[in-house]
Homo-oligomer: A and B are copies of this chain.
Amino acid sequence: MSKTNAAFMSGVPELLLLSLLAREEMYGYQLVRAIRVVSNEAFKLAEGVVYPVLHALEEKQLIKAKQRLHEGRTRIYYALTAKGKTRLKELTTTWERVSGGVAATLNAAEVAHV
């Protein structure tokens, strides 16, 4: 019931970041664009969302940062740790349980309506 109607988003930024970083290491600004593209524009997470989550993930040692220079500009690349992989599996399982449960409930409601 936020103004911008951002329901169903809890845990999603974390899941998206971990799953993208499971592919290859990436930096924050790149992740912001990748999320938009890979999700088919379903998600447009602003930098103000992505960076704090990255910092939290790093603090929990789910990802690890490596600073690199690219054309005179600093980029901070993040890579998944072993701990991060475990967490990604957990989150994926939870996601499947939740989305399965919602689907089951919505279908039940639909069936009852026909």
> What residues make up the interface of A, taking CB atoms closer than 8 Å to B?
1, 5, 7-12, 14-16, 19-20, 22-24, 35, 38-40, 42-43, 56, 60, 90-92, 94-95, 97-102, 104-106, 108-109, 112-113
Contact = CB atoms under 8 A, between A and B. Distances in A.
**Nearest 4 Cβ contacts at the A-B interface:** A42-B101, A7-B11, A10-B10, A39-B101
A74 B55 CA distance: 51
Contact of A112 (B23, B42, B100): B23
B10 A104 contact: no
22 contacts: A7-B91, A7-B94, A8-B10, A8-B11, A8-B12, A8-B95, A9-B10, A9-B11, A9-B98, A12-B102, A19-B109, A23-B108, A35-B105, A40-B101, A40-B104, A42-B98, A42-B100, A42-B101, A42-B104, A95-B102, A95-B106, A99-B102
Given A9-B11, A39-B101, A40-B101, 8 more contacts: A1-B56, A7-B95, A15-B106, A16-B102, A20-B109, A23-B113, A40-B100, A43-B105
